[in-house]
Amino acid sequence: MARFVNPDIRVVYGGTFDPFHLAHEAVCNTILEQTEVTELRLIPCAQPALKDAATVPAEARLAMLKLWQSSHPQAGRIVVDDQEIRRQGVSYTSDTIARLQSEDNQGTWLFALGTDAWNSLPKWHHAVTLMETLSFWVFQRQGEALVTVHPGVQRVDDFESLIGQTSQFYVDGRVDIKLASSQLRQSGQACLRQQTPKVISDYIDSHGLYQNRS
The whole-angstrom separation of Cα 81 and Cα 44 is: 7
Residue 23 backbone class (left: φ over 0; alpha: ψ -120 to 50; beta: rest): alpha
HSE value, Cβ hemisphere, 13 Å, CA-based, for 1: 14
Q: Which amino acid, 172?
A: D
Note the pTM of the prediction, 2 decimals: 0.91
* pLDDT the model gives residue 45: 95
The whole-angstrom separation of Cα 201 and Cα 40 is: 22
Q: Which residues of the chain have pLDDT under 70?
A: 1-6, 182, 185-188, 212-214
The CATH number linked to 101 is 3.40.50.620
* pLDDT the model gives residue 49: 82
> Considering the domain boundaries, does residue 172 fall inside one?
yes
> Considering the domain boundaries, does residue 3 fall inside one?
no
The whole-angstrom separation of Cα 153 and Cα 142 is: 23
* pLDDT the model gives residue 52: 79
* pLDDT the model gives residue 188: 67
In the chain, the number of structural domains is 1
* pLDDT the model gives residue 212: 65
> Considering the domain boundaries, does residue 214 fall inside one?
no
**pLDDT tens digits along 92-111:** 999 999 999 999 878 899 99
Q: Is the dihedral of CA 35, 37, 39, 40 positive or negative?
A: negative
